[in-house]
Structure 1
Amino acid sequence: MKRAIILVMDSLGIGASEDAHMYGDEAANTLGSIATQCAAGLADNVDRQGPLKIPNLMRLGLGAAQTASSGEALQGVNEPQLIKASYGFAIEQSKDKDTPSGHWEMAGVPVPFKWGTFPKTQPCFPAELIAQFIEQADLPGILGNCHASGTEIIKSLGEEHIKTGKPICYTSADSVFQIAAHERHFGLQRLLEISAIAKELVNELNITRVIARPFVGETATTFQRTSNRKDLTTPPIDTTLLDALKAAGGEVVSVGKIADIFAGRGITQCVKGNDNMALFDAMLDCLKTAEDNTLVFVNFVDFDSHFGHRRDVIGYAKALEAFDARLPELEQMMQGDDVALITADHGCDPTFPGSDHTREHVPVLFFGPSVKAQLVGARQSFADMGQTLASHFGLAALKHGQAIKIN
C-alpha cells in the first residue's frame, strides 16, 4: 500500500541560499540561530533550559542536513550515531520567499517570476485599489494601510477598529494583502466576504494572497488572533503533485492551511487544527484511516506565524522540541511502504532584523520502514521532493525536479 505524509515545518530554514544577498538575508539561518541561542543559555525560561533537544529530528538527519547546507554544525546538539533517513537540503528556484511559492515548488511547480508586492511607504496601497475596495465592500474606510506585524497592528488599532467598523489592512515583504477584523464586532462571515472582494481587486496587481485575520478580545492587552484565518490564494500556475494524484484516483488530505495555499486544487479532504499539536493529532487520525494512494499533507504554521515572524526564539525552540517529541508516534503508525517527508517552505530566522521571511535552504528528510539511510546532498530545486513522491505513487513524471532514489 503506497501512502505518503508531508510535514512542512513552516519557516524552518537551515542556512542562507546562494542568492540570499539579493534579498538582504546573507546571514540568515533559522535552525542554526535557534540552536546557537539555546546553547548560549539565551533561550532559557521556566519551561525549557539548555541546548536544543531534538533527538528524533537529529536521528532523521536534520543536523547533518544543516551542516551540509550551511557548513556549520548545530551548536550544543549531539549528533546521533546512526541516521535513519534519506537526508539533505533543497535550494529554492522560485523567485520569491513566500509560502505559496515554496509549497508549489515542493509539489513540482517552481514559480519563475516575482509576485507583485506593495512598497514600504505609508500609505502602502494604491489609492485606487483602496477606493474600489471601500466602495465594493461597502466600508466606512480602512485602518492601517502600511507594512506591519499582524499582532502589533491589531494591538495598536484593534480598539479603533471596534469603534469605527473599519477593517485593519496591512502587508509585509510578501505578496499579500492582509485584513484583520474582530470576529464578533465585525463578524467572521463579513470578514471573509470582504476578503473575497479584495482578492478579486488585487489579482490585476499580481498579488498572490489575501489573508483574512480574525481576532477576539476587547482591549489592546486581550486581543488575540483566532484559528479561523483564511488564505485566499491564486491557484498554482501548473499541474502539481496534488493534481496528478487526485486525477489518478488517489486521495489528497489537507491538514491545516494546505488547501488554502493550493486554492483548493488537487485536494479531496480538508482537516483543520488550532495549533501545531492539534495539527499533529489530526495528521495521525488521518493516517489511521488512510487507504492506498493517499497523501496526507500538513503545514505546521505555528513555527512561522507564532515564533518566526514574532522573532520569538524561546517559543520557536519550545515548539521544535514539542514537535520532535511526537515523531515516534508517527513512525510507529507507518506501514511497510509508507514514506514521510519533513521539509520547510522558506526560512524565518527569529534572530534576524525585521519580521519577514528569510531566503534559505530547506531540509529534505525522507523516512519510513523501506527508506534507505543516505545523504542525498544539495537538491537543486524543491521540486525534487514532489518528483520523488510522484515516483513513489507510480505517477507520470512531473514537469520539474529530479526524483531521489530513496529505497
Structure 2
Amino acid sequence: MSEKTVIVVLDGFGIGAMPDAGVLRPADVAADTCRHVLDHCRRILGRPLRLPTLGALGLGLVHPHPDLARHTERPVAVGRAALGYSGADTFAGHQTMMGADFSHVTVARLADHLPEVTSALTAAGHRVERLGHRPLLVADGTVLIHDNLEADPGINWNVTGRLDDLPFDRILAIARTVRSVAPVARVIAVGGHADGPLPAYVRDGDGGTHGLDTPATGLYRNGGLQVQHLGAPVDHTRQLPERAARAGVPVTLVGKAVDILTCDAAVRRPAVATADVLAHTEEAVRAPGTGLVVANVQETDLAGHQQDAREYGRVLEQVDAGLAVLVESIGRQGGRLVVTADHGNDPTIGHPNHTREYVPVLTYRPDGAGIELREDATTLADVGAATAEWLGLPPVT
C-alpha cells in the first residue's frame, strides 16, 4: 500500500473573524474571507463558484453558505481552528502548525531598532541611510528595509529590492544581516520588478509602522518575483517534517512551504503558480511508498493582498479541481488529506493586510466511518499533532 499523508495549506483562506480580530482594526470583526469571496464572485459572475471538492470535504459543514454543499458522502472529519499565535502571519502560522510554540512571538517596529540594524549593516560593509523623515532604511542606495504592512504591525520586517537594480542574492545577503539582529518572527527578502522606484510606494501603516505598499508596486503581478522567508530561531527537530524524516518517512515540501519550513532530508518543490503547486503535490502523492507531503497554495494569499476577490475565486476553483485529483489518488491508495489554512486574507475588507480568522480543518480519511464534526481547536498545532499520530511518530519529549 502506498499511503500518503498530505497537508494542503490554502494560504490566507479564513472562514470568519476570531473574537479578538477587531482589536487592531475594528472593521476586521466583519472579516470572512470565504463568505465574501463566494458572495462577490456570485455577483460578478452570475453563478456560484464551482467548488464541489471542497464541498465534498465538508467545507459547508464548518462554514455554512448557500453556495456550499451542506452534506457529503465522503468519510471526513471537519472543524475549524483558532490560530494559536499572535496576529495573522504565514510564517508563524506554518511554524505553529508544524509544532513550534509561537504564542509569544516578539512584536517590534523597525523604528524602535534602527541603531542596531544600521550598525549590523554597516559592519557588514553596506552603506546605510534613512529614507527622508521616515524611520525606514535604504541599503546600498537601492534596497529598502521596512516594516511589513501585509501582516499585523510589528510581526515581520521586509527587505525589498528591484531586480533591475541588483540580483536577488545581494538582497538576500542584506536580509540575512538584518535577520541577525531582528527580534521579530520573520524577515522577508523580496525581489522583483516594480512599476517604479520603491520610495514612491512607501506609506504609513497601522500601529506606528512604516513600509512599502508591496501590492501597489507591481512586484506581485509583474513576473520574476523572488521571496525568501528568514524566520526566528525554531527547534526544527520538534516539528512534524523533521520528526517524520527521522522516523524514516519520506517528506516532500511544495510551494511556499519550501521557503517556510526546514527539513534537510525533504524533497523540495518550490513553486508560486497554483498549477505548479498542484502538479508537484499530485506527483508526490503518486510516487510509490508512504510519505508526508506539505504543500502551500500561495496565490490565494496574493489575491487577498491585491484585494482582488474575483482572482481569489478563480484560484479557489483551480484548487478545487486539483483537490479532486488528490482525493481520487488518496481514496485509491489510502492515507489522509488535510485541507487547512494559516490565517485569513479577506480581499473585500478594505485593506491589503492579513485578517485574523478561524481556518477550516478538513480531513479526508478513506478508512473513516462517516462524518465527524469536531469542536473548535484552540491552535493550528492540533493539525501537526494529529498528523504525527496518524504517522505513528513518537511523542515529543
Structure 1 length as normaliser, TM-score? 0.81
Structure 2 residue aligned with 1:256: 255
**8 Å contact kept, 1:12–1:348:** yes
Q: Secondary structure at the match of 2:103?
A: coil
Q: Secondary structure at the match of 2:283?
A: helix
Report deviation, 1:362: 0.7
Match of 2:184, as an amino acid? I
1:299 paired to 2:287:
no
Structure 2 residue aligned with 1:60: 57
**After alignment, is 381-390 or 213-222 more displaced?**
213-222
Structure 1 residue aligned with 2:142: 166
Structure 2 residue aligned with 1:118: 109
Q: Secondary structure at the match of 2:317?
A: helix
Q: Secondary structure at the match of 2:190?
A: strand
Structure 2 residue aligned with 1:210: 187
Match of 1:169, as an amino acid? I
Report deviation, 1:97: 2.0
**8 Å contact kept, 2:61–2:71:** no
Structure 2 length as normaliser, TM-score? 0.82
Alpha-carbon distance between aligned partners in 2 of 1:142 and 1:63, rounded to the nearest angstrom:
50
Structure 2 residue aligned with 1:156: none
Report deviation, 1:9: 0.1
Q: Secondary structure at the match of 1:20?
A: coil
Structure 2 residue aligned with 1:338: 335
Match of 1:281, as an amino acid? A
Report deviation, 1:267: 5.0
- CA gap of 1:4–1:214, structure 2 versus 1, over 3 A, is same
1:93 paired to 2:51:
no
Alpha-carbon distance between aligned partners in 2 of 1:285 and 1:144, rounded to the nearest angstrom:
50
1:195 paired to 2:175:
yes
C-alpha distance after superposition, 1:219-251 (max 9, x if no partner): 579763534211111233571122221221222
Alpha-carbon distance between aligned partners in 1 of 2:335 and 2:125, rounded to the nearest angstrom:
47
C-alpha distance after superposition, 1:300-337 (max 9, x if no partner): 11111x21122111111111111112222112222433
Choose the corresponding residue for 1:79, options 67, 70, 79: 70
Match of 1:240, as an amino acid? Q
Choose the corresponding residue for 2:29, options 13, 26, 29: 26
**8 Å contact kept, 2:108–2:154:** yes
Structure 1 residue aligned with 2:210: none
C-alpha distance after superposition, 1:100-119 (max 9, x if no partner): 22112222334221322317
**After alignment, is 24-33 or 126-135 more displaced?**
126-135
- CA gap of 1:218–1:52, structure 2 versus 1, over 3 A, is closer
Match of 1:11, as an amino acid? G
Q: How does 1:171-250 map to 2 (within 5 A)?
A: 171=147, 172=149, 173=153, 175-202=155-182, 206-216=183-193, 219=196, 224=222, 226-237=224-235, 239-250=238-249
1:355 paired to 2:358:
no
1:320 paired to 2:334:
no
C-alpha distance after superposition, 1:194-227 (max 9, x if no partner): 111111121xxx2111111111367579763534
Structure 2 residue aligned with 1:153: none
Alpha-carbon distance between aligned partners in 2 of 1:273 and 1:35, rounded to the nearest angstrom:
26
C-alpha distance after superposition, 1:329-379 (max 9, x if no partner): 112222433111000001111111322211111101111422343212322
- How many residues end up aligned between the 2 structures? 364
- CA gap of 1:95–1:182, structure 2 versus 1, over 3 A, is closer
Tell me, which stretches of 5 or more residues in structure 1 are unaligned? 67-72, 149-160, 400-407
Report deviation, 1:23: 4.0
**8 Å contact kept, 2:90–2:343:** yes
**8 Å contact kept, 1:142–1:167:** no
**After alignment, is 272-281 or 137-146 more displaced?**
137-146
Match of 1:230, as an amino acid? Q
C-alpha distance after superposition, 1:102-142 (max 9, x if no partner): 112222334221322317xxxx4633144225412513546
CA RMSD of aligned residues (A): 2.8
**8 Å contact kept, 1:38–1:51:** yes
Alpha-carbon distance between aligned partners in 2 of 1:100 and 1:222, rounded to the nearest angstrom:
23
**After alignment, is 275-284 or 217-226 more displaced?**
217-226
